[in-house]
Structure 1
Amino acid sequence: MAADRLAEVLDATYACLTRYGVRRTTVDDIAASMGVSRSAVYQYVRSKDDAVRRLAERLHTRALTRAETAAATESPAAQRIRGVLAAKLELVLQLKGDSPHGTELLDHKARLFGDICTAFTTDLRGLLVGLFTTAGTVEQVSPAAAADICIAMVIGLESAPQARRLFDPAVTALLSGLLATPGVAGQISISTSVSG
């Protein structure tokens, strides 16, 4: 029951953040969004900062779970790599799509949750390094460099107006140049795309 109420508090926090942004959101806003008193909110979070941090953690944890699931499938390596990258892009596009304020939850330099953002990217990189190590990379690119290149590509797509449309061809082209086995990247269906 308490977990359900915490989820409600975080949902309300997200609703307020999309309207007002991190700085302007207050515990009173969160309480009003839930239709409860301020003291009811304090039963589940210590402060607005705590609510925002927990929200950022929830969003990044969900995205990381999607990435880990994609990495653990029995699919070809290129498709698993694509799934990991899609989880990162999906998180960003969801937050951007919901509100211009949503991207505040992705700030690696934010005092409240920057460490969560950094850990998320580090964990994604670790998944990618593992996948590239197993699949093999072209001679002049290490698995770590391949992972860094892929993350940089997704970061570039995050600001592109048609990121979803560009995702599949960008990943296909990138992986055809990074993976040691020729043609592996081309075997992936272009219909695999980012949702939501």
Structure 2
Amino acid sequence: MAAADRTQEVLDAAYTCLTRFGVRRTTMDDIAAEMGVSRSAVYLYVRNKDAAFRLLAVRLHEQALERARKAASADASIADRVRGVLEAKLDLVLHLRGDSQHTAELLDAKARLFGDICTAFTSDLHALLTDLLRRSGVEDPEDAAQICVSLVVGLENTPDARPLLTRASDALCAGLADRAP
């Protein structure tokens, strides 16, 4: 098995342990036991527990960003593309919060381990939206992108987030279209 595949197995095991114990209480022994290997075998693929969790956070955020990029470049209306980008962020949040109370730790922009990853992800989404809105002729695309990001962040703790995102993004895009030059 390739080293990259084994690293992915380590990250999968780290995620399983995260759902059970959280970042602080998970040990390298827990990750090794979840994989069915020795602790020294895990060290062949990650430097330590913090590195495993950082790689896991990067993987999850990059997967969401890739979904956002696909949505932004889809052959669809501007409203559908904006909604697709915002859904990528919302889906990441709802997935992590739904799996366990601990998995949401990967979303904490103030956390020592993940803050820079979360901040970079949000910045990348903002840049993606800004470009999408600029190409669509929206006035003040940077401000409009910030409003879009704020919209989805505001919905993250709402019980009916998915249906509300559809309605809210449609209304937002209609308002942006009205202001286009």
Instruction: Report TM bin, short chain.
Output: over 0.9
Match of 1:102 in 2: 103
Match of 2:74 in 1: 73
Retained in 2: the 8 A contact 1:132–1:179? no
Distance across 2 between alignment mates of 1:166 and 1:77: 18
Number of residue equivalences: 179
2:172 to 167, 171, 174: 174
Match of 2:58 in 1: 57
Match of 1:160 in 2: 158
Retained in 2: the 8 A contact 1:137–1:180? no
Retained in 1: the 8 A contact 2:83–2:165? no
Which is further off, 90-99 or 108-117?
108-117
Retained in 2: the 8 A contact 1:136–1:180? no
Distance across 2 between alignment mates of 1:180 and 1:41: 55
Distance across 1 between alignment mates of 2:178 and 2:70: 23
Letter in 1 for 2:113: L
TM-score calculated relative to the size of structure 2: 0.94
Query: Can you give the 5+ residue segments of structure 2 that lack an aligned partner in the other structure?
Result: none
Give the percent of matched residue pairs that are identical in Structure 1 and Structure 2: 61
Distance across 1 between alignment mates of 2:25 and 2:146: 35
Retained in 1: the 8 A contact 2:13–2:34? yes
Distance across 2 between alignment mates of 1:131 and 1:111: 32
Letter in 2 for 1:131: L
Distance across 2 between alignment mates of 1:94 and 1:5: 24
TM-score calculated relative to the size of structure 1: 0.87
Deviation for aligned residue 1:137: 2.5
Distance across 2 between alignment mates of 1:16 and 1:169: 37
Higher helix proportion (structure 1 or 2): 2
Distance across 1 between alignment mates of 2:80 and 2:116: 29
Retained in 2: the 8 A contact 1:64–1:120? yes
1:110-156: per-residue Cα shift (whole Å, max 9, x none)? 11121111111101000100111111235xxx111111111111001
Query: Can you give the 5+ residue segments of structure 1 that lack an aligned partner in the other structure?
Result: 183-196
Retained in 1: the 8 A contact 2:65–2:121? yes
1:112 equivalent to 2:110? Answer no
Moved over 4 A (4+): none
Match of 1:148 in 2: 146
Deviation for aligned residue 1:167: 1.6
